[in-house]
């Protein structure tokens, strides 16, 4: 597996940025620990998703690439697949819920992805994507529950650990589970004893419940500002999470908003609400992280600027 992750990184390198790691003395003081923010909001198309999308398309045969790719996503993976496909000369079909942020729909169009809108339920997304897969013969790329995507996502934490090998913990938000699973693999294979912890909104705490019940739970409520975290885990990433993720910390909506605002104000960077979830988890559990070296993956910066929560 370690070799697979190294090969993945070298395969996607020409298609991604090695993103910077930023620190803030003021936020360190506020949190009581040393924070290292891996800024995937500076990634191509503005999110870590470019890593998994690029690896998934590069892993397809020439024959499959000719028939195009299809995915369903509320935004970031949609943009990642359309950009990666555009760079590789592959046609992309993107199924998006009708209530996806306009800024994300515009992003997909910029990268020549063909948008097919559907109802905002996981069932509708999957049904629409399957229909296109059958009609066009396109290869389906899953935003979070596909090995190639998980391995691509792992490269963010690999880079972070390459720069800062002494991290005690890396935190990521948990939505579909593809990032935290990749991060957990990276920490397992590329660090001595770095733990991986997830942050999740109370309003969409399916992963937290899944770890307790031992089976994949779903959400009845999706009323969270963290629009990237409204999906549930999958059968490819859940076993990795069960094995390698230490725990998941849940945070309230006001904690997410206040953590987001702090990063905007103090670090002068644009982050989307989902990225603020792991930082909110650190602020909520200061005792647990006290004086430790903490990596946080800032997952993306694709925000509708006309619709900010503060």
183-230 pLDDT per residue, tens? 999 999 999 999 999 999 998 899 999 999 999 998 887 788 887 787
Tally Cβ neighbours within 10 Å of residue 88. Answer: 15
Question: For 111-235, where are the alpha helices, taking DSSP H only?
Answer: 122-136, 147-163, 178-190, 206-213
**CB contact set of 296 (below 8 Å; sequence gap of 6+):** 35, 36, 37, 38, 170, 171, 172, 278, 279, 282
Per-residue confidence (pLDDT) for residue 271, from 0 to 100: 94
Catalytic residue positions, numbered: 49, 74
Q: What is the pTM of this model?
A: 0.92
Per-residue confidence (pLDDT) for residue 120, from 0 to 100: 81
Per-residue confidence (pLDDT) for residue 308, from 0 to 100: 86
Sheet holding 34-39, edge to edge: 21-22, 34-39, 293-298, 169-173, 195-201, 247-251
Q: How far, in Å, CA of 68 to CA of 85, rounded?
A: 8
Mean pLDDT (10-residue bins), the chain, 310 residues = 96 96 96 97 93 96 94 85 94 89 84 90 88 93 94 98 97 94 97 95 91 90 79 92 95 94 95 94 96 96 83
**CB contact set of 249 (below 8 Å; sequence gap of 6+):** 197, 198, 199, 200, 281, 284, 285
Per-residue confidence (pLDDT) for residue 185, from 0 to 100: 97
Per-residue confidence (pLDDT) for residue 139, from 0 to 100: 96
Per-residue confidence (pLDDT) for residue 303, from 0 to 100: 82
Per-residue confidence (pLDDT) for residue 226, from 0 to 100: 82
Per-residue confidence (pLDDT) for residue 156, from 0 to 100: 98
Backbone phi, then psi, for 269, in 5-degree steps?
-125, 150
């Amino acid at each position: 597996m370690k070799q697979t992750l190294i090969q993945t990184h070298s395969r996607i390198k020409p298609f991604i940025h090695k993103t910077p790691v930023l620190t803030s003395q003021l936020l360190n003081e506020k949190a009581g620990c040393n924070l290292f923010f891996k800024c995937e909001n500076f990634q191509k198309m503005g999110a870590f998703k470019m890593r998994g999308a690029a690896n998934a398309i590069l892993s397809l045969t020439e024959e499959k690439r000719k028939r195009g790719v299809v995915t369903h996503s509320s935004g970031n993976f949609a943009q990642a697949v359309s950009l990666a496909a555009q760079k590789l000369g592959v046609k992309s079909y993107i199924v998006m819920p009708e209530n996806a942020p306009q800024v994300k729909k515009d992003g997909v169009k910029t990268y020549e992805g063909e948008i097919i809108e559907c109802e905002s339920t996981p069932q509708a997304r999957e049904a629409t994507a399957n229909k296109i897969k059958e009609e066009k013969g396109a290869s389906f790329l899953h935003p979070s529950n596909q090995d190639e995507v998980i391995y691509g996502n792992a490269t963010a934490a690999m880079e972070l650990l390459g720069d800062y090998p002494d991290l005690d913990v890396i935190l990521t938000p948990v939505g579909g589970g593809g990032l935290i699973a990749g991060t957990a693999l990276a920490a397992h294979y590329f660090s001595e004893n770095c733990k991986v912890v997830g942050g999740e909104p109370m309003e969409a705490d399916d992963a937290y419940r899944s770890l307790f019940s031992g089976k994949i739970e779903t959400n009845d409520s999706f009323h969270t500002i963290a629009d990237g975290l409204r999906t549930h885990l999958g059968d490819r990433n859940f076993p990795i999470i069960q094995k390698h993720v230490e725990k998941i910390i849940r945070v309230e909506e006001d904690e997410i908003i206040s953590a987001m605002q702090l990063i905007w104000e103090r670090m002068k960077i644009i982050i989307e609400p989902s990225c603020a979830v792991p930082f909110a988890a650190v602020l909520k559990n200061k005792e647990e992280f006290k004086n430790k070296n903490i990596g946080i993956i800032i997952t993306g910066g694709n925000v509708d600027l006309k619709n900010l929560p503060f």
